[in-house]
Amino acid sequence: MQLRQQGYLVRGLWALLVLAAVGAAFEGRWALTFVALATLALAVAPLVLASRLDITLPLPFVAAATIFVIASVFMGEAFDFYERFWWWDIALHGSSAIGFGLVGFIFVLMMFEGDRFAAPLGIMSDGIRTCGDRGCVLGDL
């Protein structure tokens, strides 16, 4: 497994989750213990799947996924950040949209690797045709 090959940031975040789970269990806060352990399981899950599928995940991807899971599940639910900060949900949805967009772009790039990919030309021609149909000027795009 690739668990030992992770950087200090990811391993530090995992250790923080373990400490939070142990501290919460020691205080008898079982819901927080469960949330911390569930967050840890979700943060480690991509690495377990990657080792089973024999693929390599880049360290920044694992770090970003770990930070996102901690921010959404652990900080959002356990520490009630969704209620404390009005922008918390917006920030998480925005960051997940950027992440999914990047992953989708990488998949498309991998599918057409070595081939000529004509989507930018098609998009430009669609824009020009639409402006021609409407009688647009450049400022209307």
pLDDT at 77: 80
pLDDT at position 137, please?
Answer: 62
pLDDT of the residue at 129: 73
How many of the other CB atoms lie within 10 Å of CB of 62? 21
* Tokens, residue 67: 């930070």
Closest by Cα among 15, 69, 18 to 39: 69
Number of domains in the chain: 1
Specify the pLDDT at position 34: 92
For residues 9, 5, 91 and 16, what is the CA-based torsion angle, rounded to 10 degrees?
-50
Cα of 109 vs its chain's centroid, Å: 19
- On whether the CB atoms of residues 45 and 29 are closer than 8 A, the answer is no
Residue 78: its pLDDT value, please? 81
How many Å apart are CA 82 and CA 86, to the nearest integer?
A: 7
The pLDDT tens digits along the chain (141 residues) read 466 677 888 889 999 999 999 999 999 989 889 988 998 998 888 888 888 888 888 888 888 888 988 898 888 888 889 999 999 999 999 999 998 998 888 888 777 776 665 566 666 677 777 777 766 665 555
Domain that holds residue 123: 3-140
Q: Could you give the C-alpha distances from 26 to 14, 32, 38, 112, in angstroms and in order?
A: 18, 11, 17, 53
pLDDT for the residue numbered 138? 58
Read off the pTM. Answer: 0.66
